[in-house]
Structure 1
Amino acid sequence: MTPLLTTHGLSRDFGGLKAVDSVDFSLMPGEIRAIIGPNGAGKTTFVSLVCGRILPSAGRIVFDGRDITDMPAHKRVRLGIAYTFQITSVFARLSAYDNVALAFQRAQSGRSVHDGVMEALDRTGLADRAKETAGAMAYGHQRLLEVAMGLALKPRLLILDEPTQGLSDGEIAGFIALVREIGRDATVLLIEHNMHVVMELAQRITVMEAGRILAEGAPQEIRDNVAVQEAYLGGTVEAAS
């Protein structure tokens, strides 16, 4: 099977700092992949390069066989790459419905806007909050709204950056179920600090440290990896859960 996404020698420098340092990465269609690592490891910079928010200093990005290295972010959205931010980026003065409608319209779908919006809100458990102003919603619900906005784009690749931040335990359980459902139709790339979420969801895990890939493997392989434990997990995976 051909990878949906690959990066080759991908790098991004900020002054003298190598935030992402010659990363070779491959993601298969239909995979749920987690990226973990300590603060400053380069995780958010890496996915920002993939979605086009920033451009690389060196290297290439290939999506579905197409070189998208220099492609603007809005064109990557049309190819099927959707990204939810580490910090919520909802339009605070608009309703939940209108936030999702704006995203849906970017997808240039032939479906009814109303049907598409309500489907995305329903999948994230927010259908009964459609008329609520986004800025008045609890932070956790804003995070879910952003996921709904991503779903409205009908993505082939959905990138989630710290999506469970601010969610209650019950909401996290619902989120895990939601991502499993999303994974039936799309590929998911997830940055997450909650190790319970990572171990529950990820089929493979990529560990970053200092802008490079330290290790990759199935959850149990990462759990047992001594280098990962020393670099990130404080001795055991459980210590970070």
Structure 2
Amino acid sequence: MTPLLTTTDLCKAFGGLRAVDHVDFSVAPGEVRAVIGPNGAGKTTFVSLVCGRIAPTSGTIVFDGRDITAMPAHERVRAGIAYTFQITSVFPNLTAFDNVALPVQRTLADGRGSGRLRDGVMAALSRTGLAARAGTPAGALSYGHQRLLEVAMGLALKPRLLILDEPTQGLSDGEIDSFVGLVREIARDATVLLIEHNMPVVMALADRITVLDAGKVLAEGTPDEIRANAQVQAAYLGTEAA
């Protein structure tokens, strides 16, 4: 199967620090791929390169057969890449409905159609369990609900690749269980790239896991392979994946 996303020899240096160090990486269509690693491993820098928030020092990024290495972030969104931030980026003074309406408008060919707009917004809010909070200002939502709102904003773009950066941060145990079900549902229609510290979530969701350490790929494999990898145990997992 032709990969949906491929990076080749991808590097990002900040002065003398190489945050992403010659990373070769590929994700198949429909896959749920987790990227894990200790703090400072380069995970967020890597996905920031993929979505176009920062430019690589060297290397290439190919999405759906197209070289997007120099493509601006907004064009990558149009191409089908959506990214939720590690720190919430909702508009606190707008309602949950209006936050989601902004990306929905980008998916409407003519930019009009109030019925289609409302349907698109409510569908995204319903999938994330926020339909009852459509009229609530985003700033009045709990942190966990703000995280889910950002996922709804990403879903509203109807992406082919949805990148979720620490999505369960701030969620209650019940919300995490619902989130796991949501990602499984999303994966029916889209490819998911998940950056996550919650190992039970990673092990429950990921088809394959890539482990980064000091900007390099330390290991890659199925959840069972990663759980049993001695290098990964020493560098990161310890007892977390038990």
* TM beyond 0.5: yes
CA RMSD, Structure 1 to Structure 2 (Å): 1.0
Tell me what 1:60 maps to: 60
Q: Decide whether the 8 Å contact of 2:5 with 2:63 is kept in 1.
A: yes
Tell me what 2:132 maps to: 128
Amino acid at match of 1:148: A
Tell me what 1:168 maps to: 172
CA deviation map 1:174-210 (0-9, x unaligned): 0000000000000000000000000000000000000
* Match status 1:224 vs 2:228: yes
Q: How does 1:147-158 map to 2 (within 5 A)?
A: 147-158=151-162
* Match status 1:24 vs 2:24: yes
Inter-partner Cα distance in structure 2 for 1:228 and 1:108:
45
Deviation at 1:235?
5.4
Q: Decide whether the 8 Å contact of 1:77 with 1:107 is kept in 2.
A: no
**Structure 1 residue ranges without an equivalent (≥5):** none
Amino acid at match of 2:74: H
Structure 2 residue corresponding to 1:195, chosen from 187, 191, 199: 199
CA deviation map 1:150-185 (0-9, x unaligned): 000000000000000000000000000000000000
Amino acid at match of 2:179: F
Q: Decide whether the 8 Å contact of 1:229 with 1:236 is kept in 2.
A: no
Deviation at 1:236?
5.9
Is the partner of 1:60 in helix, strand or coil? strand
Tell me what 2:5 maps to: 5
Amino acid at match of 1:157: L
Inter-partner Cα distance in structure 1 for 2:167 and 2:203:
15
Tell me what 2:105 maps to: 105
TM-score under structure 1 length normalisation: 0.97
Amino acid at match of 1:28: A
**Structure 2 residue ranges without an equivalent (≥5):** none
Identity of aligned residues (%): 74
Is the partner of 1:19 in helix, strand or coil? strand
Amino acid at match of 2:160: R
Amino acid at match of 2:217: I
Tell me what 2:84 maps to: 84
Q: Decide whether the 8 Å contact of 2:29 with 2:190 is kept in 1.
A: yes
Deviation at 1:107?
3.0
Q: Decide whether the 8 Å contact of 2:200 with 2:241 is kept in 1.
A: no
Is the partner of 1:237 in helix, strand or coil? coil
Inter-partner Cα distance in structure 2 for 1:62 and 1:147:
24
Q: Decide whether the 8 Å contact of 1:104 with 1:113 is kept in 2.
A: yes
**CA 1:109–1:168 in structure 2 vs 1: closer, same or farther (change >3 Å)?**
farther
Tell me what 1:210 maps to: 214
Inter-partner Cα distance in structure 1 for 2:29 and 2:139:
35
What number of residue pairs does the alignment pair up? 238
Inter-partner Cα distance in structure 1 for 2:240 and 2:186:
30
Amino acid at match of 1:86: Q
**CA 1:29–1:159 in structure 2 vs 1: closer, same or farther (change >3 Å)?**
same
